[in-house]
């Protein structure tokens, strides 16, 4: 059974509407800048990709769980545009979302002296994201089930892959899937900084440099995307954006933070996705990589592609969105499918923002300076995360 994506609800650093996001991708506008939603005093790194509407950062009070706030808005936008609620019964709709760790309002925690409360007591400053997502499912009349995926940078890709499998096997009729996360809080910022994953210079929009020889770390971001996945036989033909053709998921079992340098399981996830799609590697026209801008990421992704595509890796165009909008962690895979949709719709591979010099340890064909126009039928999308999670999705142009 064929599975298609028929709509997006978007809250992102690149914009909050599909047309705005496409234009941001085409022009390579920098959407990473000084953080406006919490005091970064004392941090050596103060930039992030915050959600923007008409180019302006969206601001919320400190106690607001931004990943829930933006997911609410994304769901509302999606359901209005696709009219899923009118085309399916409530128990025929599922919600599968990738997300991040619970949000802590640090300022409110200390202002209200909640640290004096007995252990185990619920505190107002601790936002329980899973509970909030279930409440959103009820709010929007999604009664067929609600699943939350918390697998760091692979969370939303897992949510989409799982949704695709349910639909393909006839276990669901329609699924709202995607991800929502916000890394712009004290707790998450401190965590990533102490892990050494963040860029150690504060050059604003030019800090995160995926695949570049001089890359030195990632930049955090935030955003929510909800997308409609339906069986092709039920979907309105004029709403079909692209088809989900294959999915593969593996685990490194190597380290909590580092990718396995052998790339064994990342390679395996690609092989599984291609097998699921029923295609050979030669049919892949471009690859949208994870591309975090960290020193260890690029060589592993290169090695996986080299093992799957052989010598063709030198001419296979690749792309990463993270230099432009930051690393959205729990929602990055879903958000980066907007880049895939752009490629399929525009028949272009976008250029990777901030890339300038090829790394001999990862000699990828990174599109530079401006989009590359080529015929695009099949796109491979990779994500990999802390904990060793690897995902690969094959997307294809409608009608292929």
Q: Whole-angstrom Cα distance, residue 364 to residue 369?
A: 15
**Residue 257's pLDDT is what?**
77
Structure confidence at residue 340 (pLDDT): 98
**Paired strand residues for 247:** 393
Q: CATH 3.40.47.10 occupies which residues in the chain? A: 3-239, 244-396
pTM of the model: 0.93
Sign of the torsion formed by the C-alpha atoms of 310, 311, 312 and 318:
positive
Q: Which CATH architecture has domain 3-239?
A: 3-Layer(aba) Sandwich (3.40)
Q: Which of 285, 331, 321 is nearest to 211 (CA)?
A: 321
Please check whether residue 215 is in contact with residue 295, taking contact to mean a CB–CB distance below 8 angstroms. yes
Report the candidate in 114, 119, 127 with the shortest Cα–Cα distance to residue 62. 127
Handedness of CA 183, 188, 190, 195 (dihedral sign): negative
Span of 75-84, 302-311, 370-379, 385-394 with lowest mean pLDDT:
385-394
Cα(103)–Cα(59) distance, rounded to whole angstroms? Answer: 16
Whether 102 has a pLDDT exceeding 70, the answer reads no
Q: What is the spatial distance between Cα 236 and Cα 378, in angstroms, rounded to a whole number?
A: 22
Whether 125 shows a pLDDT value over 60: the answer reads: no
Tokens of 224: 């929510």
Q: 244-396 adopts what CATH topology?
A: Peroxisomal Thiolase; Chain A, domain 1 (3.40.47)
Tokens of 342: 């752009």
**Cβ proximity of 357 and 214 under 8 Å:** yes
Per-chain mean pLDDT for the chain? 92
pLDDT in the model for residue 208: 92
Alpha-carbon distance of 370 to 352, in angstroms, equals 8
What is the pLDDT confidence band of residue 198, given thresholds at 50, 70 and 90? confident
Q: How far apart are CA 219 and CA 207, in angstroms?
A: 7
User: Rounded to an integer, what distance in angstroms lies between the CA atom of residue 134 and that of residue 262?
Assistant: 39
Q: What is the largest CA-CA distance in the chain?
A: 62
Q: What is the pLDDT of residues 268-299, one digit of tens each?
A: 999 999 999 999 999 999 999 999 999 999 99
Dihedral pair phi/psi, residue 300, rounded to 5°: -70, -45
Select the more confidently predicted residue: 203 or 98. Answer: 98
CA–CA gap between residue 94 and residue 176 (Å, rounded): 6
Mean pLDDT of 138-142: 97
Of the pLDDT bands very low, low, confident and very high (cuts 50, 70, 90), residue 117 is low
Backbone dihedral region for residue 310 (phi beyond 0: left; psi -120 to 50: alpha; all else: beta): left
Q: Over range 201-211, report the average pLDDT.
A: 80
Measured CA to CA, the distance from residue 177 to residue 158 in angstroms comes to: 10
Q: How far is CA 207 from CA 1, 219, 315, 325, 326, in A?
A: 43, 7, 27, 11, 9
- 3-state SS, residue 356: coil
Report phi then psi at 230, rounded to 5. -135, 160
Say if residue 241's pLDDT is above 70. yes
Q: With pLDDT > 70 as the criterion, what percentage of the chain qualifies?
A: 93
* Contact (Cβ atoms closer than 8 angstroms) between residue 349 and residue 367: yes
> With bands split at pLDDT 50, 70 and 90, how would you rate the model's confidence at 367?
very high
Q: Per-residue pLDDT for 109 more than 80?
A: no
CB 226 within 8 A of CB 9: yes
Residue 314 predicted with pLDDT over 90: yes
């Amino acid at each position: 059974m064929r599975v298609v994506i028929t709509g997006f609800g978007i809250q992102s650093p690149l914009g909050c509407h599909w047309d705005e996001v496409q234009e941001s991708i085409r022009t390579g506008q920098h959407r990473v800048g000084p953080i406006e939603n919490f005091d970064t005093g004392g941090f050596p790194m103060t930039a992030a990709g915050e959600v923007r509407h008409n180019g302006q950062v969206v601001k919320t009070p400190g106690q607001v769980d931004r990943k829930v706030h933006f997911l609410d808005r994304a769901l509302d936008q999606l359901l209005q545009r696709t009219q899923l609620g009118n085309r399916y019964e409530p128990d025929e709709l599922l919600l599968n979302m990738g997300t991040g760790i619970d949000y802590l309002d640090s300022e409110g925690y200390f202002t209200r002296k909640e640290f004096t409360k007995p252990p185990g007591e619920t505190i107002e400053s601790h936002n329980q994201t899973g509970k909030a997502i279930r409440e959103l499912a009820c709010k929007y009349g999604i009664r067929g089930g609600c699943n939350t995926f918390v697998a760091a940078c692979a969370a939303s890709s897992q949510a989409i892959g799982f949704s695709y499998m349910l639909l393909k096997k006839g276990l669901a009729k329609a699924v709202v899937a995607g991800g929502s996360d916000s890394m712009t809080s004290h707790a998450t910022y401190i965590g990533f900084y102490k892990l050494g994953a963040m860029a150690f210079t504060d050059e604003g929009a030019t800090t995160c440099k995926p695949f570049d020889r001089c890359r030195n770390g990632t930049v955090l971001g935030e955003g929510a995307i909800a997308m409609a996945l339906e069986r092709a036989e039920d979907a309105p033909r004029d709403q079909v954006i692209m088809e989900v053709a294959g999915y593969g998921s593996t685990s490194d079992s190597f380290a909590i933070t580092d990718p396995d340098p052998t790339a064994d399981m990342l390679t395996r996830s690609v092989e599984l996705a291609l097998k699921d799609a029923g295609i050979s590697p030669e049919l892949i026209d471009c690859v949208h990589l994870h591309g975090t801008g960290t020193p260890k990421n690029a060589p592993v992704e290169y090695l996986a592609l080299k093992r799957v595509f052989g010598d063709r890796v030198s001419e296979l165009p690749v792309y990463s969105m993270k230099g432009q909008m930051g690393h959205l962690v729990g929602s990055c895979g879903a958000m980066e499918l907007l880049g895939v949709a752009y490629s399929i719709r525009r028949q272009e591979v976008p250029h990777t923002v901030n890339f300038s010099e090829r790394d001999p340890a990862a000699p990828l064909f990174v599109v530079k300076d401006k989009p590359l126009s080529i015929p695009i039928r099949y796109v491979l999308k990779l994500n990999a995360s802390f904990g060793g999670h690897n995902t690969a999705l094959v997307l294809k142009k409608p009608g292929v």
